[in-house]
Structure 1
Amino acid sequence: MSGSQSGAANAENVNGYESSTGSTQRRLGFWREWTTKEDWWSIWIGWGLVLVAYILYANGGSIRWLAVAPAQWTSVSDAAHFFALHLPNYVALLAVFGVLFSIAVAAQGQRVAHFVPSFLIVFAGSIVIFTLGAWTDASKYNLEPPLVALAAGLILSNVFKLPEWFHAGLRVELYIKVGIVLLGATLPFTLLVWAGPVAVGQATIVSLSTFFVIFLVGSALGLDKRFAAVLGTGGAVCGVSASIAIAGAVRAKREHASVAITLVIVWAIVMIFALPFISRAFGLPTGIAGAWIGTSEFADAAGIAAAQAYGDLAKHGAGAIAGAPEASLQAFTLMKVVGRDIWIGIWAFVLAIVATTRWDREGELQVRSRAGEIWARFPKFVIGFVIASAFVTWVASGHTLGAYRKIVAPEFTAPITVLRTWAFIFCFFSIGLTTRLRSLSATGVRPFIAFTAGVAVNVIVGYVLSVHVFGHYWASLG
């Protein structure tokens, strides 16, 4: 063999070896991405729970036994009796969540020996918080479990010094990402069709206008764009859940989500009392008032309390309020729970793209983002949300709204909603336990001004749309 032929053969072998090595490294990198990243583990856990729930549902069963939740109670003895009666369910739920989260933690190189005892404490605290939220008078005091979890965590973390090992179980991002994926499984796209074009259209107008007002005012006041985005979605969609979801999507600081949640809670409590009072003063029919409450409220529990209160006023003949009493809650559900809450996934998807292609590049050399880099930065749990929603849409596609509520919801999606609530409680409790009030006060008055500007838009635009633009539609409900 000549020298040139030998050289060519050697070059071919080297190139072949390098090509093979590069291919192997890419495969290993791809596998490592899917097995060690928190975003992917949130998808595997969320999808796994949804798939098990569907398999049982398709074969005439349900995951309800595992998805235990405290029953409503009026006395402590009633609550204790329910807990004792369903102790095996709670133990099974702890085991399932504990094993799934431990596998995810171990895959990410964290110490499971520290995580397990910490998560046991988080789970025990979550049981107490969830049980408190099941109190018959809880809605009267806005004691929604995720909000109580946040408050309890803040009190404990700012009064007591927590041991370092305990922080291993405070996996805020993992818990909320699993919760968001499960949230997708409870919001089929067909709900938009069932809600009607009026509810979807009004929710779209409100969501867009409120977000951009808060975002632009916050940016003008010098807030970080990620912080402004978290505040904007907190006011435009479902306050607490949206704040957490968008904070993860745009990679905002943890305290940014805490500030947004605090502002949501403050204004949600104000609206519980203000909206029914003003609606009664204006003599609004129940359906119109419910739509306005759904447009202007920031938390589902607070809005339900306000809408129910107005419906009760109509039921008891206070001021001869027009409309069926249940129309208030129906209109609220269409506007808030369906029309606005579905925007969580939309905003998370859009803002994640904006954050990875624009905001992450600010202050750096202007280099065109490659598709691979965008994919690496993109929060994968948002995709998990969308696919879970698409899957449940397929499950619900062969049912009418009535059949969905009667068959699919109680046996399939309702248990998933309970599991989602548990994940949210774990998350909010962990946020409180890792947040110092000193960091919240350091943000100043600017976030309050930006969010309050959105409140004004919510209330005014919501009133105009509910009363003058789509008033005939809302008045006809019930």
Structure 2
Amino acid sequence: MSDTTQVLPGKARAHVAEARPARWGVFANEDWWSVWIGLLVIVVAWALFANGSSLNWLAVAPAKWKTLGDAWQGFVGHWANYLALFAALALLFGTGLAVLGQSLSRFLPAFLILFVASLLIFTASAWTEASRYNLEAPLLALGIGLIVSNTVRLPEWFQSGLRVEFYIKVGIVLLGATLPLTLLFWAGPVAVGQATIVSLATFFTIFLAGKALGLDKRFAAVLGVGGAVCGVSAAIASGGAVRAKREDTSVAITLVVVWAIVMIFVLPFASRALGLSTAVAGAWIGTSEFADAAGVAAAQAYGDAARNAGGAIAGAPDAAVQAFTLMKVVGRDIWIGIWAFVLAWVATTRWNTSEGGVQAKADAREIWARFPKFVFGFVIASALVTWIASHYSLADYRKIVTPDLVAPISTLRTWAFTLCFLSIGLTTRLRSLTATGWRPLLAFTAGVVVNVVIGYVLSVHVFANYWNGLGG
């Protein structure tokens, strides 16, 4: 396993623990831990809310400021809150990583630096003029991370704190608490249907293009799943299913990350230029992005743009992230297990053996092993808040439940996303793309084109009424 860690880039190393054989059942990997951490936060918030209190004291975030003096005073007035928040997050993430055998002596110092950097970025995005320059926290975190990682050599121990998928999965579970289950069931079938069309079209485009360009079929399959489903997690899952070479998985991850970052900026810009509503844009982003974290960044950026556009962008600002989540988490991410099972079966029965002559197993356990467990956390969180909301009228829900229960959970979700976006930037080496060669790049880019075009047609024309109804 140490050899794998050396081959994969920084972001991929965060997934290596998830690829190990399960030893602790429901505490086996970061996927499960993201479920327990997210649900624990929601249950604590609910318990406080039920007793007339709230999690607002812990869920602290910088307030809007005009001058540096205002920003400093805001920090001084809440330093105890930030200290408590750091301690809580370090305890939650650190416990999970410790059980998984990770070094806390490396993680905690790295996480402290990451937290402080995220706080500074969060503060910068709270500047009253930030929206004019599109300095939303996710994009700002990503941009700063990219600059640092591509100009400064970060110490190896610092990589222990850059748990990209861990942060984003916890954030997605927390996101479930802001989405009613009725909305999930209503839009879910549309998301699954749209995702099925895009997943099949994109996979076969990349796979067939890769084979036509002379790539090994296992390599082409890993590239195809990486583009068709959910990026890094899918690439690692499919690589294990077909027993692809380690360096092939690394190349797939690099291409996924680079294109995901490109789409963070392209898709919101194109959506605004085309005059798309927030919900339709979120669905297009969910269909066309290649990683959960990058997609959330793009969707949140478009939602923030709508919030500050004074009505120039149609739809509720939150609809962009809601539509993206339904499209990506409910629709596309469930294909990880499906593709892993199908490819494991194909590799066993058609491609015979892997390099070492070990037969790949194709059974129901493969689907369960590769299924993204954080989806369960998302659904449970949504169901819990839906049950709580059922005891209130819509007016009381907005007046009582939203500020004292949902709002602090949303703030903690934003913290998780910001930690994730900064980690993506700090683990992405743009120069590593030059080592991949032109054939994998060309095959994957063909899938990008198909992905974006079909995603646009389905989101803007075929299923537009559904998505606009979501953002109504």
TM-score, normalised via structure 1 length: 0.73
User: Higher mean Cα deviation, 122-131 or 433-442?
Assistant: 433-442
1:271 alignment counterpart: 270
2:38 alignment counterpart: 46
Q: Does residue 344 of the first structure (1) align with residue 328 of the second (2)? A: yes
Q: Does residue 357 of the first structure (1) align with residue 349 of the second (2)? A: no
Residue 439 of structure 1: how far off its partner (Å): 2.6
Shift in alpha-carbon separation, 1:98–1:211, aligned structure 2, 3 A: same
Shift in alpha-carbon separation, 1:133–1:120, aligned structure 2, 3 A: same
Q: Does residue 444 of the first structure (1) align with residue 445 of the second (2)? A: no
Shift in alpha-carbon separation, 1:357–1:410, aligned structure 2, 3 A: same
Equivalences for 1:188-337 in 2 at 5 Å? 188-192=180-184, 207-222=195-210, 224-232=220-228, 254-271=253-270, 273-276=272-275, 293-296=281-284, 299-304=298-303, 307=306, 312-313=311-312, 328-330=314-316, 333-334=318-319, 336-337=320-321
Residue 386 of structure 1: how far off its partner (Å): 2.6
Q: Does residue 427 of the first structure (1) align with residue 416 of the second (2)? A: no
Q: 2:150 is matched by which residue type in structure 1?
A: N
Q: Which has the larger radius of gyration?
A: 1
CA distance in 1, matches of 2:465, 2:29: 46
Decide whether the 8 Å contact of 2:280 with 2:460 is kept in 1. yes
2:111 alignment counterpart: 119
Shift in alpha-carbon separation, 1:85–1:440, aligned structure 2, 3 A: farther
Question: Residue 159 of structure 1 aligns to a residue in which SS?
Answer: coil
Residue 111 of structure 1: how far off its partner (Å): 1.9
Residue 310 of structure 1: how far off its partner (Å): 6.6
1:385 alignment counterpart: 378
2:69 alignment counterpart: 77
CA distance in 2, matches of 1:250, 1:388: 28
Q: 2:330 is matched by which residue type in structure 1?
A: I
Decide whether the 8 Å contact of 2:196 with 2:332 is kept in 1. no
Q: 2:72 is matched by which residue type in structure 1?
A: A
1:60 alignment counterpart: 52
User: Higher mean Cα deviation, 253-262 or 68-77?
Assistant: 253-262
Aligned residue pair count: 408
1:178-213: CA deviation from partner (whole Å, max 9, x where unpaired): 2232222332312347xxx6x778766655554444
Decide whether the 8 Å contact of 1:272 with 1:306 is kept in 2. no
1:413 alignment counterpart: 406
CA distance in 2, matches of 1:133, 1:53: 26
1:176 alignment counterpart: 168
Gaps of 5+ in 2: 1-20, 211-218, 240-248, 287-297, 353-358
- The percentage of counterpart residues that share the same residue type is 40
Shift in alpha-carbon separation, 1:343–1:250, aligned structure 2, 3 A: farther
TM-score, normalised via structure 2 length: 0.74
Residue 339 of structure 1: how far off its partner (Å): 3.8
Residue 159 of structure 1: how far off its partner (Å): 0.9
1:284 alignment counterpart: none
CA distance in 1, matches of 2:363, 2:280: 44
Question: Residue 342 of structure 1 aligns to a residue in which SS?
Answer: helix
Question: Residue 175 of structure 1 aligns to a residue in which SS?
Answer: helix
Question: Residue 160 of structure 2 aligns to a residue in which SS?
Answer: helix
Question: Residue 55 of structure 2 aligns to a residue in which SS?
Answer: coil
Gaps of 5+ in 1: 1-28, 234-241, 280-288, 314-324
CA distance in 2, matches of 1:183, 1:275: 28
What CA RMSD, in Å, does the superposition of the two structures yield over aligned residues? 3.6
